[in-house]
């Protein structure tokens, strides 16, 4: 058991993997967070009455950093590079679809 553990620590290089995870997540979380901000705030059904309000598009902008940070933080749960890419690309596609659906 102990031997396996040591073996794993030697073979994996967590900082490098994490750098890849971090950079990919930081990049792909951007469009995701922006589409999500549009879907959840500006184009959401509950904001329909406040589109002429100067503050609505400001709140939509304020929503981006918390959404971005949440997505990037969750990305470190992805056990491999393949899962990470798949999850983020699927997430982007789903959120883009959601935005299109609420805009329609």
Residues in touch with other proteins (CB under 8 A): 14-15, 18, 22, 26, 30-31, 34-35, 37-38, 42-43, 47, 50-62, 64-66, 68-70, 72-73, 76-77, 99, 103
3-state SS of the chain?
A: CHHHHHHHHHHCCHHHHHHHHHHHHHHHHHHHHHHHHHHHHHCCHHHHHHCCCHHHHHHHHHCHHHHHHHHHHHHCCCCCHHHHHHHHHHHHHHHHHHHHHHHC
Q: Which is nearer to other proteins, 12 or 90 (CB)?
A: 12
Q: How far is the CB of 32 from other proteins (least distance, A)?
A: 10
Q: How far is the CB of 59 from other proteins (least distance, A)?
A: 5
Q: Which is nearer to other proteins, 28 or 60 (CB)?
A: 60
Q: Which is nearer to other proteins, 85 or 98 (CB)?
A: 98
């Amino acid at each position: 058991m102990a031997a396996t553990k040591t073996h794993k620590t030697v073979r994996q290089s967590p900082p490098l993997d994490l750098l890849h995870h971090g950079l990919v997540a930081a990049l792909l979380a951007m469009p995701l967070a922006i589409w999500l901000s549009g879907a959840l705030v500006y184009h959401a059904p509950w904001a329909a009455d406040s589109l002429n309000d100067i503050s609505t598009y400001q709140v939509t902008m304020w929503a981006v950093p918390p959404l971005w940070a949440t997505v990037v933080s969750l990305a470190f749960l992805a056990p491999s590079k393949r899962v990470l890419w798949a999850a983020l690309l699927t997430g982007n596609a789903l959120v883009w679809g959601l935005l299109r659906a609420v805009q329609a």
